[in-house]
Chains A and B, each alone.
Chain A
Amino acid sequence: QVQLVQSGAEVKKPGASVKVSCKASGYTFTGYYIHWVRQAPGQGLEWMGWINPNSGGTNYAHSFQGRVTMTRDTSMGTAYMELSSLRSDDTAMYYCVTMIMVRRAFDFWGQGTMVTVSP
Chain B
Amino acid sequence: DIVLTQSPGTLSLSPGKRAILSCRASQSISSYLAWYQQQPGQAPRLLIYGASSRATGIPDRFSGSGSGTYFTLTISRLEPEDFAVYYCQHYGSSPTFGPGTRVDI
In the bound complex, residues from chain A placing their C-beta under 8 Å from that of B45 are: 109
**Cβ of A112 under 8 Å from chain B:** yes
Within 8 A of B (CB), among A73-112: 95, 101-107, 109-112
Among the 9-residue stretches B18-26, B74-82, B96-104, the one with 4 or more Cβ atoms under 8 Å from chain A is: B96-104
Contact B44 A47 (CB under 8 A): no
Chain B residues touching A, majority SS: loop
| Shortest Cβ gap from B33 to chain A (Å) | 9
Chain B residues within 8 Å of A, Cβ to Cβ: 32, 34, 36, 43-46, 49-50, 53, 55-56, 87, 89, 91, 94-100
Contact B49 A104 (CB under 8 A): yes
Task: For chain A, give the interface size range.
Answer: 10 to 19
| Shortest Cβ gap from B44 to chain A (Å) | 6
Chain A residues touching B, majority SS: loop
In the bound complex, residues from chain A placing their C-beta under 8 Å from that of B36 are: 45, 106
Contact A111 B43 (CB under 8 A): yes
Given contacts A109-B43, A109-B44, contact A44 B49 (CB under 8 A): no
Taking CB as reference atom, which chain B residue is nearest A49? Answer: B94
**Cβ of A10 under 8 Å from chain B:** no
- Other 20 A-B pairs with CB < 8 A, given A47-B97, A107-B46: A35-B95, A44-B98, A44-B99, A45-B97, A45-B100, A46-B97, A47-B95, A47-B96, A95-B44, A101-B55, A101-B56, A102-B46, A102-B50, A105-B34, A105-B49, A105-B55, A106-B44, A107-B49, A109-B44, A109-B45
